[in-house]
Every structure is written in C-alpha cells, then in structure tokens.
Amino acid sequence: RQQYLPWTTLLSRLRSYVLGELFGAGLVGKKEIRAKARGQWETYVNAVVHDSELRAKIEPDYEIGCKRVLLASDWYSTLQRDNVDLVTSAIESITSRGVKTADGVEHDFDVLVYATGFSTTDFLAPMQITGREEVTLRDAWATRPLAHRGVTVPGFPNFFILYGPNTNLGSNSILFMLESQIQYVAHLMRAANDRDWRGIEVKPAALEEWRSMIDDESGETAWLQGCQSWYTVNGVNTNNWPKSSWQYHQLLRSVDLTNYANAS
C-alpha cells in the first residue's frame, strides 16, 4: 500500500507522533494526569490479574512513568503462566546453580540471562574528545553531563552533539529530536559562515541558563518523583527532555547568536 500511496507513510508517522505526544503530556504535565492514568491501570490490572499476591508484587511504589514504561500486550498473561514465578526480592549473588536472593532462597536455573543495563550517562563513550586547554569532555562532564540545547558545550568549539544530555524522550521517537538537532547544527554552521567566523562556541552563561531551565522544568515531571531509574543521577535529570518534543523542535528552528562567540 505504501508503495503506491506514499502519503500513507506520512499519515502513519503522524499518528504515532500524536499518540506519543499525548502520552508524553502525562510524563511532563501535572500530577493529576498521572494519577488518573494510575487509576485506569489499577482497574485494568484488577480485571486481568486474579492473584492478589501477584498484583501486590507488580504494583509499583512510584508514579507511572517514573521508570521506563513497558508497552506489551502479553506481559500480565505471561506472569500468570504455571511455569512462571515472579521474584521481587533483591539479588544477593550469582551462585554455581543460579541466583541467591536477599531472602536467603537460592533459585536453580539451567540458563541465566544477565541483563543489568548499560551506562546511560557516559555520553559518546568510548570516544575521547578534547577541547580547549586539553580538557576532555569526560572531565568537563565529571559532575554532570550538560550541553546547551543538548548540542553544544563551552570549551569545545565547532563541536556538535546529536542525542546529547537532556534530549532523550520517554514517550516518543528520538528520530524527531535528531532531525531537529541536525537542522539546528546546519543553522549554526551557516550563521558562523555568513559572519566569517573561524568557529562557533557556546558561551558558559548560555549553558547555565539552559541548566536552570532544565532543572526547573524537570521538577514536576514523572522522572523526579522518588524512584531510581536510568533517567536520573542522584536525583538530577541528566537524560530526558522535560517538555514536549514539539516545543524542542520549535526551539531549535532558530539560532540566537547572542549565546555564541566567534571561536578564533
């Protein structure tokens, strides 16, 4: 169908985008929205999960969206299969036979899938990027990864990042963010070239203003409501964009050169 009616591809993408934005409104919006979503979830789980002990195990003790939301149609039915046990006790150690949990029980396994995640704040690893005065990006980000509009960093002229700090989404496609960033980088390069600048570098004051905005906007989001997730480090939002992706897109449509300097 898409081969003969290519416009249907655009409609399909628009549909996915709008649904993602609507879902995202609950993550970055008022708590009342998330409370309503939590009520709908509880009603659904009570209807499909019949074991009260299992329901108690799967009920999160944090707001919906604080951790990555799992979207699956067979999750709850899988947990209720006769050959499935849900163990929520913390893992104490891996033994020769399987896993020992904090409650003292050793669980025997034939196969153990070791999936503990990845380093989400080690941006651009394992590359080593060096800026002015031989300062590496890793050192510049030792306390907190931060980039103006998620793209530029003071002390690193002519250096542009895609999918940098605070540009991840919890509800929509990252491709939309990347497209906005690519357009923004092109604007920056064109603006510098039109002014015969040898290079372009974001000012520290601009980054500080950006940091303040990110922290202020993140306060009421789902991600800072008491859980531990890969979105945050020590209670600070280091990964996610705290507004709608459309707002980010609009922000990056133009360049404010007062935030930048000629990197001579």
| 121 CB burial (10 A radius; 0-12, 13-18, 19+) | middle
| Count of H-run helices and E-run strands, the chain | 8, 7
Tens digits of per-residue pLDDT, 131-142? 999 999 999 999
| 156 CB burial (10 A radius; 0-12, 13-18, 19+) | buried
C-alpha triplet 150, 155, 161: angle, nearest 5°: 30
For residue 6, what pLDDT is reported?
Answer: 79
Count of other CB atoms within 10 angstroms of residue 164:
22
**Helix ranges, the chain (H):** 7-28, 31-48, 52-58, 75-79, 137-140, 174-194, 204-218, 245-251
For the chain, list the domains and their CATH numbers.
Answer: 87-115 (no CATH), 132-262 (3.50.50.60)
**Distance (Å, whole) CA 61 – CA 139:** 36
Structure-token pair, residue 119: 């380093």
Tens digits of per-residue pLDDT, 185-234? 999 999 999 999 999 999 999 999 999 999 999 998 999 988 888 999 98
Structure-token pair, residue 49: 């999960």
For residue 69, what pLDDT is reported?
Answer: 84
**Helix ranges, 162-244 (H):** 174-194, 204-218
**Global pTM?**
0.86
Average pLDDT over residues 98-110: 95
Tens digits of per-residue pLDDT, 74-83? 999 999 999 9
3-state secondary structure of 168: strand
Distances (CA, A) of 211 to 34, 236, 243: 25, 11, 14
